[in-house]
Amino acid sequence: MNIAVVFPGQGSQNKDMADSFSDVSSFNDVIDQGSEILNYDVREAIKDEQKVLIEQITICQNEIKELSKLIRKLDIFEIAKKDYIQRLSTSLENDKTIKNMEDSKAG
């Protein structure tokens, strides 16, 4: 059986938010793995309500949001550019066709 533990978003963290899972071994395994990866004690960070950590998360979330906006703009630019190139190519092909027709009428 798969279980997901989801905590509410930014600004709703509190030092007791993980207490009800403290005796769940799979939860503790994940917290331990996270602590090892992040190189600090996640359990301690939750308990101490480190405002600095929460502020760092906020900064990262804002940067990710801005980066996502930029990526969407770049995607839209690329789509517009491809559309413009396709239209230009079609227009040039049409110009060649018209010129060929004019040349054949004249000749």
Place of tokens 């491809």: 82
Q: Would you give the DSSP letter of residue 19?
A: G
Q: Residue 81 to residues 59, 67, 87, 90, 92: CA-CA distances in angstroms?
A: 33, 21, 10, 14, 16
Q: What is the pLDDT of residues 52-90, one digit of tens each?
A: 566 677 777 777 887 788 777 877 878 888 888 888 888
- Residue 30, H or E segment: helix 25-38
Other C-beta atoms lying within 10 Å of the C-beta of residue 54: 14
Q: What is the pLDDT of residues 6-56, one digit of tens each?
A: 666 656 666 777 788 888 888 888 889 888 888 878 888 777 655 556 667
pLDDT at site 69: 81
Q: Residue 102 to residues 83, 88, 89, 92: CA-CA distances in angstroms?
A: 28, 21, 20, 15
